Structure formats: C-alpha cells, structure tokens
Amino acid sequence: MTQPAAATPTGTVTVRVPAKVNVQLSVGGLRPDGFHGLANVFLAVGLYDSVSATRAEEPRLTVSGPDAALVPQDRTNLAARAAELLAERHGLAPDVHLHIAKDIPVAGGMAGGSADAAGALLACDRLWGLNTPREELLALCAELGSDVPFSFAGGAALGEGRGEVLTPLEVGGAFHWVFAVADGGLSTPDVYRECDRLRADDDVPEPVASEALLAALRAGDAQALAGALRNDLQPAALSLRPSLAETLNTGLAAGALAALVSGSGPTCAFLAADADSAARTAHTLTASGTCRAARATTSPAPGATVV
C-alpha cells in the first residue's frame, strides 16, 4: 500500500541533466532479450534539460521549450516512470509535479528522454528526502533504460552490456562539437531493426572499445578522436533518412574534423578543432537549410546535478 511521502523538505528541487553523443557505438548481435550487446563510448555534452519536482496532490507532468509539443505529457514519459519507480520502491505515492524545461533535441539520438528520467529520479529523491545511495540510483536508472545510467553519471564512460554497465573514462581536455538538429525524430528500435536488416548476411563481431579512441579521449586530442569516431547505427539512420548524408557533407565542407550521426540519429554531430571552427561550422549548417538548427557546445559535461 502506498502512503504519502513523509515530512520532507518543501518547495521545488531542480536538476540539470546533459545530452550525450556516442563517440564509439559498436553494436553486437541481437540478444535473446531483444537488446544488442554494445561497446558504447558516451560523452556528455553541454546541452541540458532541467527537471523540476514540486509536491502535488496527484502526479502531473508539464513540458516547456520550443519542442514541448513533441514530448508526451503523461505517464508514458520516462521521467514520470522514474518518479513512479522510485516512489514504488519506497512505498510512497508518486504525487509530484514534474516540469521539464526541454533544450535537448527530441528523439534526436542525444538521450533527451533518458536525461529527463535521470533528472526526475534525482529531483524526486531529494524532494522526498530519501537520499538514496548513488549505486542504488544508478541501478534504478538501468531499469528505466539503457542510456539512463550514463545521463545520470555524465562525463565520459564506456557502456557495456546493453549500454548500462558503465566504466568511467578519463578525458584530457575539452572537445568542441556542433549538433545539427533535424526536423522530426527517428525511433531507436526502428534504427536498431534497420541495422539488423542491413547486416543480416554479415558475421557481427563482439563489440570492443577502440584503444585508439580511448587514448584520444585521455589525451584530449581532437585530431586523433576525429580519426577514431565510429557509429554502427549510422548506415541504418542514413538508410531511414537519406537526407542526413547532405547534412554530414555540409558540416565537413565547413571545416569540421569529422562528422557522424549521433546515436540512433537523426541529429548529426561534428567534431571541430576549436571554438572558432565550431562557431563557423554551426553558422554554415544553419544557413545551408540541411538542418533545422545547429548548436555549438563542448564536452565533457557533468551528469545530473541539483541546481
């Protein structure tokens, strides 16, 4: 039986959570549980959603931001499921008003939904005065989705298993990125399915993290990282959205060191040599009409943080 949360701090708790880019996404074969084994090198980037939790009479979820209309504002939102899961584990009623101030591209391959779930979990934990240990919160994150633990942790990490088994990675300096946001999202399951279809006749090797890529991250070496970027979902994203090839080529022609689809797409990521080059690439992409918007930012970024 659920009960109202015990006397806890009043007011609102707001948590800021970052987007991610996968600098390596190596996809293994389809597992019996419907997921793929991964070697997934995550890097948190400086685009953020904010999730605020306020006591309420009943569960409520609202979203603001230019793409708010594209985000489910009911129990199907992963942030609402995060609040329900935490409440259930503690025998509480999930009576909270969650507000998501959305800046991360929606369904863009940048883990915006996962970020909101990680943010909601931390915000509710603090609002309800639970102070759940970090390891337990990470375990709840993994129940919510493969990318949620990394959204919580931030920084840089290797994700193995289905992406949820994290090993933190060292990063030796800031990297400069541009993200080209597409019109309309891509469904992650559809992209994985297309990846399986395209590779149906191939022997798919066991995914392993690239030593060259990990060394480039450790050294903070953008040139070396550019040569080591890899996303096995990119051919599938391009197959489902062929126009992304033009976006990738436009950013490269503008001087980016490398271009790749971010996660399952359709957001395209461009690694730049420095802040000036990133600003120029963003400007060219915006003017080109090959994307809806282009945003310059840096990595790594911190994980879920109470503000």
Q: Catalog residues that contact ligand C5P under the rule CB under 6 A.
A: 34-36, 38, 145-147, 162-163, 188-189, 192
Q: Which is nearer to ligand C5P, 125 or 164 (CB)?
A: 164
Residues 6+ apart with CB under 8 A from 284: 250, 251, 253, 254
User: Is 102 in the active site?
Assistant: no
Catalytic entry in 95, 147, 221, 276 = 147
Element (H, E) at 233: none
The residue written with tokens 């790749």 in the block is 260
Name the minimum Å distance from CB 215 to ligand C5P.
25
Which stretches does DSSP call E strand in 81-231?
A: 96-101, 156-160, 165-168, 175-181, 230-231
Name the minimum Å distance from CB 40 to ligand C5P.
8
Name the minimum Å distance from CB 151 to ligand C5P.
11
Residues 6+ apart with CB under 8 A from 189: none
The residue written with tokens 């605020």 in the block is 52
Q: Which is nearer to ligand C5P, 88 or 190 (CB)?
A: 190
- 3-state SS, residue 59: coil
Element (H, E) at 21: strand 12-30
Identify the DSSP state of 183. S
Give me the helix-helix angle, 134-144 and 112-127, nearest 10°. Answer: 140
Q: Which is nearer to ligand C5P, 143 or 276 (CB)?
A: 143
Name the minimum Å distance from CB 143 to ligand C5P.
10
| Token code pair at residue 229 | 């970027």
Name the minimum Å distance from CB 222 to ligand C5P.
28
Q: Which is nearer to ligand C5P, 114 or 281 (CB)?
A: 114
Catalytic entry in 20, 103, 116, 232 = 20
Q: Which is nearer to ligand C5P, 27 or 271 (CB)?
A: 27
User: Is 147 in the active site?
Assistant: yes
- 3-state SS, residue 102: coil
Task: Name the residues annotated as catalytic.
Answer: 20, 147
